[in-house]
Amino acid sequence: MKNTSKMIAVTALTAGLLVGGGAWGYQAATVDAAAAQAAGEKGKAATASKAKTVQVTQSGITLEVAKAQFDGNFIDISLNRSGKELKSSFVHKGTKDEGSAQIEHGSLESIDGFIDGKSIIELGGGGLGQRPGLKWGSGETPESARVLLKDASWLGGKGYTFPEKFQLKLKVKLTGVDKPYIVELPMQKTADKPVVLTDSLTKQAGNLTLKLGKISLTSTSTRVQLIAKGDTTERLFGMQYEVVDDSGRQLDYLTAFGTDDNNKEKALYNDIVLTPIHSDAKFITIKPFYPEMEAPGAANGAFKLDADGKIVKNYIEELEMKVPLK
């Protein structure tokens, strides 16, 4: 197969849809950042403040911004839905057996993002690896949805970076509601700075080289930049990463994206945001692997699962990285 430029949303191990990637937010309600820090997560806590609750009502259905916080790595927004005669969850959870079953009235259909009046699809040159990304999925309850945004500043080249202040608009479309909901959120970069580790590490396995670019730690997330090169496009994009702390606790993916379009060397820049690292951790281990496919030799499709329902992983021990945090 021709070694052509590709881009990938690293969502095989996560839920949600990547449509477009961030570090600033709007406090629509009190965010108990102090509690998060007291719980022992690394980095400085996100700024907490009280602000007027953002609500939009039409056709008998109300959307409310329950939370929108920033931590220097990404934007994390919670949307709540309320109304009468809503028969299904806010985020439709389809199954393979349902096929093209109709989504119920009031379920989330799409979300478009705008910064200072301009669609995020048009920012940074418009390419997937140059513009901000927006991902949405199920929230903590059936009546909530989680929206994540991340900029393209860690994808090599000159990808779009969020300004210190801007107006974020979400255009939210619900099934069966004629007009989209317009949610306006004034954004401002937090004064607190994340802990950024820039001591790079490089590992090699055959002709494949993996470099750790940088890590950004906050009380609410961990952002990792990994740069891979030297193998075929399919092999580079097929490699995935598991991150564990020194107690063996695996960090969960929040959002991720990778592209080789922003540099002449065709190195694959992966920008991964995960759950936070505990403050007691002295190091983390990055464990690259290839997931085994259900159909032997397949390049895409379903992953093979073990007896516990977990993905079968073929680890690449030569590329494993132990990253000190202190």
pLDDT of 65: 95
Find the radius of gyration of the CA atoms of the chain: 20
What tens digit of pLDDT does each residue of 209-228 get? 999 999 999 889 999 999 99
Residue extents of the structural domains in the chain:
7-91+102-188, 195-324
Contacts with 307 (C-beta within 8 Å, 6 or more apart), sequence order: none
φ/ψ (deg, to 5) at 183: -110, 115
What span, in angstroms and rounded, lies between the C-alpha atoms of 228 and 213?
10
Please tell me the CATH code under which domain 7-91+102-188 is placed: 2.60.40
Partners of 181 in the β-ladder: 172
Q: What is the DSSP letter of 172?
A: E
Q: Do domains 7-91+102-188 and 195-324 have the same CATH topology?
A: yes
What tens digit of pLDDT does each residue of 230-261 get? 988 888 999 999 999 999 999 999 999 999 99
Right CATH for 195-324 from 1.10.580.10, 2.60.40.1640, 3.30.70.1070, 3.40.50.11740:
2.60.40.1640
Consecutive H or E run containing 33 = helix 33-38
> Does position 39 have pLDDT exceeding 50, yes or no?
no
pLDDT level of residue 199 (50, 70, 90 thresholds): confident
Among 154, 183, 166, which Cα is nearest to 255's? 154
- Using alpha carbons, list the distances in angstroms from residue 108 to 45, 70, 262: 31, 23, 33
pLDDT of 141: 95
Helix (H, G, I), strand (E, B) or coil at 112: strand
What tens digit of pLDDT does each residue of 167-184 get? 999 999 999 999 999 999
φ/ψ (deg, to 5) at 35: -65, -40
What span, in angstroms and rounded, lies between the C-alpha atoms of 239 and 234?
9
Structural tokens at position 279: 């403050």
The DSSP code sequence of 128-161 is TTTS-EEEEEE-SSTTEEEEEEE-STTSSTT---
pTM: 0.83
pLDDT of 69: 83
